[in-house]
Structure 1
Amino acid sequence: LVPEKSVFEFEILGEAMNRAAIQLTAQSAELRAAGDRMQTAIEALEDAFVLYDSEDRLVMCNTRYKTFYQMSAPLLVPGARFEDILRDGALRGQYAEAVGREDEWVAERMAIHRAPESVFEQKLGDGRWLRIAERRTPEGGVVGIRVDITELKRAQERADAANRAKSEFLANMSHEIRTPLAGIIGMTDLALEGALSADQRDYVALSRSSAVSLLDIVNNILDFSKIEAGGIEVEHVPFQLEEALGDSFKMMRLRAQAKNLEFSVLDNSSLDRDLVGDPVRLRQIVVNLLGNAIKFSERGAVTLRIDAVGRSNDSVRLRFSVRDQGIGISEEQKARLFEPFRQADASTSRTYGGTGLGLAI
């Protein structure tokens, strides 16, 4: 026999358990409904979505995600570890960058995954490109988005190929364009040595000056095109700094004198040996910098300073600094200094001419 009091307590306990079971059932239904709503939401995304927990186990992903990683699809189930999924895909050739270096690639990718605050691109084995963004969740998991950028990449590749073709064409035209201009300059030089009237001498001198200016512009355009086309080779030959730049300094001094500007070179390098490098390209860079300084200065002085800022037994680092009293440049314009075909503004091009390639080169 059970005491009446105990029967009463059992009834209370039974009612409490029933209520708890009902509440748990309701909460489970709510959780399932919330999960269904979440799954419906991520399935509606155009991009691939994935969520891993703090133990790096898969929580959920949408169908779009599985279509990107079809080779790993059998492993894309809740509870699967990210590294296992990743390694399986690498071994199956799912990632283009991993082929032939699977272990190394998995280690690199895991390092990015453990610090998921970056956006990067990934090429798949089937040729598609993805842009991947991963972020750490408050609970310590990782949420990720994959965007298919294949068409964007292909458009960029087509544009790059067209640009290279243009640059290669211009680079190949170098001889055909420069030779006639050099011929014009040579003929005008011969004409200036002959007996000419004052007017004729002015006309021929103007023709020569125009041809030289045109040759400078053509040289810059062709050199920049060669750089873009990968056709510029930097030489490594012995040379002396003064010998390489001396004639250029004389030419710059004449240009400065024509504008009533002072011109000076302060060589503090104290070089006692020949250098090894590309004197032609060095001369081109220095002439471009000095030419800009003289072109944009209407008064004062233009000074080139050469300093040795690093020296060892077999190398020296030289710094060439140009100081002038030109028109100045705003902070906004400084950000665009080395962009090709750029000048401060349209009025600068109209007033001073040029292609906007000197600093880019």
Structure 2
Amino acid sequence: MRPARGPGRVAAVLLSWVLLTWLQVAMSKHHVDLSSSAKSVFLLNVAPGDTVVYTCPYTFNREMQNMCAREKEYFDKKLFCFEHVIINRNVFLLRDYVRGAYSMVSKYVNNVYTAQFTVPPVVLMNRHFECYCYMDDGNRVVKKTLKVHISKGVVRKTPGCDFNDDYRETTAITNFSNMNRNNVKVCDSYPKGGDTIALLCPVNYTIQPEGCFDQVYIKKGDIQNDKNKLEERFNVSRKWEADKYKVVNIETLFGQKLNSLGDEMSRFAKVPVTNEEISFTCTCQANDGSDTLMMNVYMNESYDKFVKSNHDRGEHSKHNFSSTTVTEREERSGGSASFFGRAVLCVLALLLLGA
């Protein structure tokens, strides 16, 4: 006879089922085919972590009727979603308006245009934009509109690095952003255990090592002595020296995998709750090999302890905004929390195995 399940195991099984169902709902993929209905306006509400797919049978060879000059320019230059989006009839880059948007793919096959993107786990403000679709309807060309609303999730900037200096400061989601990458090659981030970290690279740059933050760079040799050198820590124009680093799996540092996601230009991860001081590096490498930008992560370290005089404090205060100084816990909507819910499932699985 099989032994009866204890109340703890039953509760764990039930909670696992509830969380799995919640994750499937929270992290969803929305596919909108603008040719599938006679209506002219489509409304779509999405949350952090969701993926949006948009399909439009564009008509490129017909005379466009009833188009304002701005829309005609948008159409003629093929500034289509989701690389570009419309906000109050103005064209914006989605990567600027929704910082950290990733997995952006578009293609035009057999007169059908398809595009998709994934909402990042960090969205500080509600976002609204439109996409236009021009298609044949009998003997005329009609315009259809997709209106996308993204609900905000995380309520404060995340400790991370954004090297997109050509984007607006007002849309930044990281503490370190919009620095001139011709001069600033290094970003130092000081997260605490439990924070979400982010690295956002410019166009034509690729995050290294591949799969950051699953794999990261650490310094060879005596890391402790190197990292305490003020002249190295605060020299934002220093060059990347690959021979001083090696690639390791993140489990080497934390004893566990991180919940990470993103693509080759944008990466996010939630670091475990720990009081240990842990340091590692990821980079943005120019695709032509001409430039490397560094993100150095110093977990549970205090920026202030490295600044020992008023002179130093004044000279280096411009870096203070990359430090995680806010102690309040992050608040997340269901969508953004889904980014990390899998960690809870992993813990529950371990409990079940030990039950």
Alignment TM class, shorter chain as reference: under 0.3
With the length of structure 1 as denominator, give the TM-score of the two structures: 0.24
Report 1 or 2 for greater relative contact order, CA contacts < 8 Å, sequence distance ≥ 6: 2
With the length of structure 2 as denominator, give the TM-score of the two structures: 0.24
Q: More helix per residue: 1 or 2?
A: 1
Larger Rg: 1
Q: More strand per residue: 1 or 2?
A: 2
